[in-house]
Structure 1
Amino acid sequence: FDTDNRLFPRPRDPGAVETIRDQFVVFPNLTPFGDPQLVADPAVRNDSLYQTPEYLLFTQGPPAKFNLRLSYVATGGGDRSTLLLNATQIREETEQIFVEGRRLARGIDYSVNYDLGQVTFLDPDALFGNRPATVTARFEQRGFFAIAPTSIFGLTTRYQLGEWGGINLVGLYQREATAFNRPPLGFEPTASLIGGVSTDLRFDVPSVSRFVDRFTSGRMTARSTLDIDAEVAFSRPDPNRSGEAFLDEFEDDQGIPISLRENAWSYGSRPASANGLEALGFAAGFDSTDAVQLTWQNLIPDGRGGARDLRPTDIDTNIVIRGGNSIGTETVLYMTFHADTAGGVVARDNSAAWSLPRRDFRPRWRSLVTPLSLTGRDLSRNEFLEFWVFEGADRPVTSNDMRLVIDLGTVSEDALALAPQTFTVSGGDTTFTGRGYAGVGMLDTERSPTGTFNALTDDIGILGDRPLLTLPDGGEQLVPLCRRSLSNLVEVFPWGDLSARCSVGNGVLDTEDLDGDLLLDARGPTEDVFRYVVDLNDPKYFVRTGVQAVDPTDSTRVAGWRLYRVPLRDVDRTIGQPNIRLVKHLRVTLATPPDNGLPDPVIRFALARMRLVGAPWIARADAPIEG
């Protein structure tokens, strides 16, 4: 709640999907438990609630001292005589219904519709009274469709023994396969055999007639017979024809997809430490003067007047779509790591309105960042960071010895943005000069102080797209260097065009505030990250190749996709005190070693299908535990 008692976040607010559990009430701009006007007793007043360090938020706190009196309107859940189990095709007589720990009796306390999964309490007033009650339901559910093939064989026959009668045989055999290659417990292939034998035999017994003749005065003429009518039945169920079952198939990876939408990423901060990159020319740290322009985009031209569309089958050869089913397009992030001479302002004739001097024998770097969670995501069950990389036939990433420096944890929000310092106007041409860094030490955001964003009035751009420039007359002014116009047409820029990224008028909230707290580095500039320095030439990261395209004029030139996997347990450097259960940000820094005095090459590559993968089981140790 804010000061006007409005409930946040509203559906249109950024981060509204990341809701807090409904047992919390948050006062973002009030301190009722530390207000001396509300809590007069200083012994009871507790202002430390609002000064708790972030890493202690999930630890056990002091006992409660305050009560909140809330007035609200609540609506009931309807008729309490019925309970929907949210399941259909329940196995008959498998349900167990408990009320406050007491098991209810079917037919006495309740009735159940197995097909609909609905329980009806016969006397709810006697069961629940006027008090809240906890109802626990346990049951088994049948598969809605019989996806596993079932075979039934029957046999009935009679063997005639002449005048003595016959023997009847009957049998029924049912065999059910499984739809799983590794069937989990309860879904094994089953079988059942039911058989029976019946007889209707009649035998003449003349000896009985002769024996009875001895006790009668006349001769006995009736026949003596022995009738045998018998039935024997048996049942031989086989609950598991294969003799084995799997507790877990180990195919659920607990994957967390990382969005590669271009608006989900923003320019990152200058890494506070260069640990792990000393051999690459960064022994003295990341120098802001070595930062170069970096662009990323989701759309590039396809050469036919449209945008290039890729589907998963265009990336991964292991994905096969059968049956004519369609599949959506894949989100691909096309990256361009520019030379040190690239400025960032492009004129209407595609000429550079701002260029920078060469810096020979110097390394290059630039970073971008995406938030994983506002409060911290638990990655303790994730084992790898997996992504696909596209390189052209020249292999620009591997041939230029570029590193991907991946930082997982909490990073600084103060993004590094390049911007010119002055400009001059000559006729209809504007020329920009100098090199500066926009918004250093201050929060650049399009969000209003109340936490809202109005695209009509607030979409004015941030950082290098709207820097503070020195005017020709010596004054200073915020000058927008680019502009977008939202329309029915989507503009597609060439791969690596410096105009592809613009925060002015793009219709999206642009901000440095990765945590959504309207503060810049509220916990201080200290970074707590797990660092992975990824060399794509190192075979330990390479998994397999994907779709490849061979140059028809030179079979040695191959462009295509390659899958890489970074083990999260194999950390190259630990900076600060990161917590694997509270990972907020993913920052990717591109870094290349010093050049040999020649112009820097432009490095183009693409990323796709990035995700954090793991297992549903908790890793207790690196090796099996004896015993």
Structure 2
Amino acid sequence: MFKNVYYMGASNISKEGFAVRIVNQRQNPPSEYDMGGKPYITQFGLDSLNESGVRQADELIDMENSSIVNMVSGELVFPTYHPFAYDSLAGGNKNAELQNVLGLGKMYTTTTQTEINNDSRFEMQIEYTNQSSNINLGFMIVEGSEQVFVDGLELKRGVDYQIDYFSGTLVMNEDLNPNAQLNILFDKHEIVSFDKKTILGTRAQMDFGDRSFIGATALYFNQSVINEKIEVGYEPTRNFIWGVNGRYEQPLEGLTRFIDQLPIINTEKASSFSIEGEVAQVMPNPNSINNPETGDPSGVAYIDDFEGAKRTTSFPIQRRFWKPSSPPLIYHSNKTLSHRNRAKMYWYNPYVQWRTKDIWPNQETSIRAQNETTDILVMNYKPLANQTHLPKDSLWAGIIATLYSGDYDQTQTKFFEIWLRNKNGSRSELSVDLGKISEDWDGNGTLNTEDIPVAGMIGDGLLDDAEDVGLDGCADESEDGWGGCLQFGETYNELLESGNTALINVADDIDPNDPNSDNWNYDEGTNDYKRINGTEGNALDAGRYPDTEDLDRTGFLDKTNDYFTKSFTLDDTTYFSGETVKDGQPTGWRLFRIPLSHFEMIDSTGNQEWNEIKFCRVRVTDTTQTWVQIAKIELVGNEWQELGVAPDSSNSYSKANSDSVFAISVINTEDNANYAPPKGVKGEYDRINEIRSKEQSLVLKFDNLSPRHKGAALKTLVNVTGDRAKSYLTYDKMKMYVYGNSPWIGNTETKVEFFMRFGLGEDYYELVQPVYNGWDETENRNTINLDLNWLTQLKLQDSTNVKKLNDTDTFSDSANIKSYTFNDENGISTGKQIKIKGAPALSRIKFFMVG
């Protein structure tokens, strides 16, 4: 067996984009460079030539050397037989620079996986692209529904590709350029569908003799969907077709005999009289969903109802996902707060869940939806007896949770949101840390784990009875009361009785039988949660998995502290966003919304980035006891992209320092007690769960926006071609409800304008109109009700043939921009204006912009 040849996972690998890295996982942090900055790929002999073939390492694998890499077979070959063992065996790696970092070569001498894992040091990371002619689309493809595009050119079935509709396997007949853009659109049969289709047909016919009849045909098709709200392009249709046809035919025997008597003429067939006719009508309804409450009885589809505008990354509320945290860094310092200043904290989910309506009274619930009750997370913080004299900002206790790797990137996130209830009215300080946070809970610099390995540093991942001693790694009698273990065989009680207390914590509330307070105990159904987070003796609670400091399960202790931090008091008003109300009384459940732009780097010289948010730590600071109840923790972004701020005459938006001036968020009927939607607008009713969802609006928030400046948000539509492309040509109106709330907005006068732009590239329609207070439902000046038929006609007209809605309106056409201004009866502008730039089309709308 070749122990220096590695299969890279694919064959026929393209040289473009191919890269190999060898990473030392034992370095902190793991790196592809040794401590002297030299790349391991060079030290292992995979890089000795530059791209010109000159003997000079360039930190790139020598892919032209077939003795090192075979791109066709996908094999990577090391120049020594045992590359990961330093000369301890024949054929071992003889590079002296690797002597102190290579293992013993267990992978070459044993089949015991535990020993191999414990000896492991390096990881190979390979990036490449390769060609594959087989593409799996999933089972049950609708026959004939697929559309295959390569770089925008549609391919033909049977010529360019083959497809098995049942298995969903599509096979390309020709190899594609690896850089080609391949788009495949298709429909799938639903195994379970709650939508309905009704197809009815009837035919009635009356015969008059053998050759005459009159008949009628009726066909009915109705497609209904379970959703009350549907998007443009997914409308349910209803069609009715009726038709009447008939035929009358009468033989004319006398005429036949008469013609036969004429000279020269001899008929071969009998003469007859025949008349036949048919009339039919199609009565189509391309959208059968209506909303008479908003004055829309002829089909309604949504471009965006903003119910899905809020994009969230949610942290779990279940206590098992939260672990005791390492001490935080002191702001802009490499020093951490003392472990000995860690206050007592236990966190838990109450055995009896909260009624959801006691937290969010406006949220609809049902037994079928299983949302009548909600878990909450309670943090109970209490300084030890000997800590109450310490400065407030030196005391702390916190818990930490991990994010899934797919959620690390939070560059598009705008807010940190937390729903909490301050049970005892404390003014304690709550701090939130986001980023790369040390896993070293007790600060001893080594990975604490109950998983005792047979040999080396890694265990088997299962908890044996003898291993269940807690994260401190020692039994109760050897605990020091600070979270660590006593050395040299002393016991806590021996030192306490002898008066030699320098090594132990002798606070009045320390239990000598469990000095570190890490013993697990909970009697189900009781309210005594003090020991529910214990790691010693918690085998049944932890599911027989060993407790470990390795939160992200990489096998190593991460001691990096590169994170963002923000603190606020529990009675804070700056970030207080709202409180729910039940029966006219506040519930105590408050939403705090903190812009991520207000978070600060814990170390001004660090490498904090919002695309590497691995952990969230929540910690409390105070000298008094605090109960914090938490219902929800989320990182919140938006489907709409903030463009920033720009002068009114410019389309060049700047995001520099714009977060404090312009921001987008959402407001809804569940979270915001003071929100009332416009008349007739409501959340969608879920027929399955028998509840109505929240109704939600997009919020454009401006603060100290400079005069004659604007802020804007953009939504880019999914680029779909062919029959699935969204078109607004079948609709007569485009409606939007706008709410005004500002000191600059009144009932009769306003200094604020709203604009909406939609189109493709530099071809677009734009509507600008003033904003008045509230929804302005009396005069409907805030409601956008755009006549799309008139709008498309306006695009084709000029000043000589423009069709004005009012005689006093004005129209101009210059510099590729048409402008239509709405005036009152005296010819004074109402502030409402429509601009058309270029040649936009309702069948080619790719973006919407509002501001």
Q: Secondary structure at the residue paired with 1:379?
A: coil
| Corresponding residue number in structure 1 for 2:223 | 176
Q: 2:77 aligns with which of 53, 69, 75?
A: 69
Deviations 1:396-424 (A, max 9, x none): 2xx33233222222345565xxxxxxxxx
- Residue 26 to residue 570, structure 1, CA distance change in 2 (3 Å): closer
CA drift at 1:228: 0.4
The alpha-carbon distance between structure 1 residues 63 and 329, as it changes in their structure 2 partners (threshold 3 A), is: farther
SS in 2 for 1:464: coil
Report deviation, 1:377. 0.9
User: Counterpart in 2 of 1:464?
Assistant: 482
Q: Could you say which residue in structure 2 is the equivalent of 1:445? A: 448
Structure 1 gaps of 5+ residues are 6-22, 45-60, 73-79, 129-133, 217-222, 276-284, 301-306, 343-354, 416-438, 549-554, 593-599
Alignment correspondent of 2:687: none
Q: Which residue identity does 1:91 align to in structure 2?
A: V
Matched letter for residue 182 of structure 1:
K
* Residue from 606, 617, 622 that aligns with 1:587: 617
Letter in 2 for 1:541: F
1:578 to 602, 608, 616: 608
More moved, 579-588 vs 381-390: 381-390
Report if aligned partners of 1:443, 1:512 keep a CA contact under 8 Å in 2.
no
C-alpha separation between the residues in 1 aligned to 2:524 and 2:218?
A: 73
1:46-125 mapped onto 2 (5 Å cutoff) = 63-65=60-62, 68-69=76-77, 85-88=137-140, 90-96=141-147, 103=155, 105-106=157-158, 110=162, 112-113=164-165, 116-119=166-169
Q: Which residue in the other structure is 1:295 paired with?
A: 345
Q: How does 1:338-353 map to 2 (within 5 A)?
A: 338=382, 340=383, 342=384
**Equivalent position of 1:308 in the other structure:** 352
| Match of residue 57 from structure 1 | none
Give the 5 Å matches for 1:112-511. Answer: 112-113=164-165, 116-119=166-169, 138-152=185-199, 154=201, 156=203, 167-201=214-248, 226-233=273-280, 235=282, 237-241=284-288, 243=299, 245-246=301-302, 250-252=306-308, 253-263=310-320, 264-273=322-331, 291=341, 293-298=343-348, 307-310=351-354, 315-322=359-366, 324=368, 326=370, 330-338=374-382, 340=383, 342=384, 355-356=385-386, 358-359=388-389, 365-373=395-403, 377-392=408-423, 396=424, 399-411=425-437, 439=442, 442-443=445-446, 445-446=448-449, 450-452=457-459, 455=463, 456-457=466-467, 459-462=469-472, 464-468=482-486, 471=495, 472=498, 474=500, 481-482=515-516, 494=527, 497=530, 499-507=531-539, 508-511=546-549
2:325, 2:617 within 8 Å by CA — same for their partners in 1? no
Letter in 2 for 1:529: F
Distance across 1 between alignment mates of 2:363 and 2:553: 36
Structure-2 change in CA distance of 1:81 and 1:274 (3 Å): closer
Percent identical: 16
1:329 CA displacement: 7.3
* Greater Cα offset, 249-258 or 34-43: 34-43
Deviations 1:208-230, CA, capped at 9 Å, x for gaps:
999989979xxxxxx99642023
- TM-score under structure 2 normalisation? 0.46
Counterparts of 2:273 and 2:46, CA distance in 1: 106
Q: Deviations over 1:15-68 (max 9, x none)?
A: xxxxxxxx9875524969549874499888xxxxxxxxxxxxxxxx96445754
Measured after TM superposition, the shift of residue 188 of structure 1 is: 0.7
Between the aligned partners of 1:316 and 1:38, the Cα distance in structure 2 is 60
* Alignment partners' CA distance in 1, 2:436 and 2:203: 75
Distance (whole Å) between structure 2 residues aligned to residue 105 and residue 155 of structure 1: 37
Matched-pair contact (CA < 8 Å) for 2:147–2:154: no
Question: Following the alignment from structure 2 to structure 1, what is the Cα–Cα distance between the partners of residues 418 and 344?
Answer: 19
On the 8 A contact 2:251/2:272 being kept in 1, the answer is: yes
Match of 2:780 in 1: none
Separation in structure 1 between the aligned mates of residue 501 and residue 432 of structure 2, nearest angstrom: 41
Q: In the TM superposition, what is the alpha-carbon distance from 1:108 to its structure 2 partner?
A: 11
Q: Secondary structure at the match of 2:145?
A: coil
1:28 is aligned to 2:79: no
- Is the alpha carbon distance of 1:161 and 1:538 closer, same or farther for their aligned partners in structure 2, counting shifts above 3 Å? farther
Alignment CA distance shift 1:112-1:196 (3 Å): farther
The code of the aligned residue for 1:401 comes to R
Which one of the candidate residues 573, 576, 593 is aligned to 1:541? 576
Query: Separation in 2 of the partners of 1:542 and 1:108?
Result: 57
Higher relative contact order (CA 8 A, sep 6+): 1
8 Å CA contact retained: 1:406, 1:588: yes
- Post-superposition CA distance 1:522-571 (Å, at most 9, x none): 5xx6x4414253644528534442789xxxxxx99x8x561414243451
Structure 1 residue 198 displacement after superposition: 1.2
C-alpha offsets along residues 75-104 of structure 1, whole Å, 9 cap, x if unaligned?
xxxxx999763232x322123579999946
Contact 2:319-2:348 within 8 A present in 1 as well: yes
Q: Report the Cα distance in structure 1 between the residues aligned to 2:200 and 2:215, rounded to whole angstroms.
A: 17
Q: Over the residues paired in the alignment, what is the CA RMSD in angstroms?
A: 5.8
Q: How far is 1:105 from its partner?
A: 3.5
Match of 2:657 in 1: none
CA deviations 1:564-589 (Å, max 9, x no partner) are 14243451545435321111232223
CA 1:482/1:504 → structure 2, altered by over 3 Å: closer, same or farther?
Answer: farther
The reply on whether 1:521 has 2:559 as its aligned counterpart is yes
Structure 2 residue ranges without an equivalent (≥5):
6-19, 28-33, 51-57, 69-75, 82-106, 108-131, 176-180, 264-269, 290-298, 473-480, 487-491, 505-511, 540-545, 645-662, 664-710, 714-754, 758-851
In the alignment, residue 624 of structure 1 is paired with which amino acid?
Answer: A
Aligned length: 497
Q: Structure 1's 249 and 33: CA in aligned 2 closer, same or farther, altered over 3 A? A: same
- Structure 2 counterpart of 1:445, one-letter code: N
CA deviation digits over 1:432-476, x for unaligned, max 9?
Answer: xxxxxxx55644623776243674347443383335479337598
Q: Which amino acid in the other structure matches residue 712 of structure 2?
A: P
Change (3 A) 1:382 1:460: same
1:296-325 deviation digits (Å, cap 9, x = unpaired): 23255xxxxxx4345756644455454656
Kindly provide the amino acid, as one letter, of the partner of residue 69 in structure 1: V
For 1:607 and 1:225, locate their aligned partners in 2 and report how far apart those are by CA, in whole Å: 91
Equivalent residues of 1:411, 1:529 under 8 A apart? no
The answer to whether the Cα contact below 8 Å between 1:261 and 1:331 also exists between their aligned partners in 2 is: yes
- TM-score, with normalisation over the residues of structure 1? 0.60
Quote the Cα distance in structure 2 between the aligned partners of 1:619 and 1:157. 62
Name the aligned partner's letter for residue 323 of structure 2. Answer: W
Determine the C-alpha separation between the residues in 2 that align with 1:533 and 1:475. Answer: 37
Preserved CA contact (<8 Å) 1:256 1:611: yes
* CA drift at 1:378: 0.8
Structure 2 counterpart of 1:295, one-letter code: M
Deviations 1:147-178 (A, max 9, x none): 2344556565679999x977533221222233
Aligned to 1:430: none
Inter-partner Cα distance in structure 2 for 1:259 and 1:619? 28
Residue of 568, 583, 598 corresponding to 2:595: 568
